[in-house]
Amino acid sequence: MPNMPRKQTAQVLVADLTWADLYATSIRKDVKMLIPAVKKISTRDLTESAVLLRQQLESAKCTTAELKKMTRLEPGHSDRSGSDR
């Protein structure tokens, strides 16, 4: 995207964040439905998938924290190592 005009880049960013918000809302609803079911059924595959989901969501949380820092919505500097937590 280096050759994209700034306005177009901002529009793409807003679209990406809008999709992320829609995905997050859907994931939240799905997880709320899954919790009672997995209390009754526990398998190795379910456990592995839940661990993977948690890791992916932790990564997404780090990305949103980085975006907040980049947009100055959160104090601190850009540091993905977690040393500023």
pLDDT in tens, 20-35: 999 999 999 999 999 9
C-alpha–C-alpha distance, residues 72 and 16, integer Å = 19
- Tokens 């209390």 sit at which residue? 39
6 pLDDT higher than 80: no
65 pLDDT higher than 70: yes
Whole-structure pTM value: 0.69
Q: Rounded to whole angstroms, what are the CA distances from 70 to 59, 61, 66, 77?
A: 17, 14, 6, 8
